[in-house]
Amino acid sequence: MESIINRNAAYLAIISELAEKRQYIFNVIELYPNVTSKDIEKLTFLRPNQITSRVSELKNLFFIKESGSRENHYSKRGNTTYRIVESMEERIDLINAAFVSLRDEKSSLEMDYHLNISNYTRESIDKKIKKIKRQLKSLGKILNTIQQAA
């Protein structure tokens, strides 16, 4: 039980060290769970590009996650809703799921790479494999940071 308390305290410490704009958007999402980027725009009067960039960064760092979708009253299209990741355990689970998904995608691409394919396709697959390797390395760094903080 104590390790869970320590881990969640470390999680809160990491959140408090977010860059100012990320912290601001994170706080809005925390105050208004299941909020869309359009809702954040109305609440904060920030430009859409300022919001969507921060939302993407927070999502890629596993501080927030998609929680569903809701129809935009103006466009009549679905907008993704977001909520904060509430604990270190949930964050680790999301990171591990992303890690497994990327690893599986990389394996599939490597198998395709060895088939009789054109050079263009081989180059495209090679670029995608390199991108996935960078993403896996990034996830590893995030997990190392979490382990060091705990």
Question: Which tokens belong to 60?
Answer: 């890629």
Per-residue pLDDT at 125: 87
Q: Name the pLDDT band for 2 (thresholds 50, 70, 90).
A: low
Per-residue pLDDT at 16: 76
Contact between 26 and 64 (Cβ < 8 Å): yes
- Single-letter residue type at 44: T
Contact between 38 and 72 (Cβ < 8 Å): yes
Quick one: which of 94, 41, 43, 40 has its CA closest to 65? Answer: 94
CA separation for the pair 35, 31 (Å, rounded): 9
Phi and psi at residue 66, in whole multiples of 5°? -70, 135
Q: pLDDT (tens digit, 9 = 90+) per residue, 72-123?
A: 888 889 999 999 998 888 999 999 999 999 999 998 888 887 786 778 788 8
CA separation for the pair 38, 36 (Å, rounded): 5
As a whole-number percent, the residues of the chain with pLDDT over 90 amount to 56
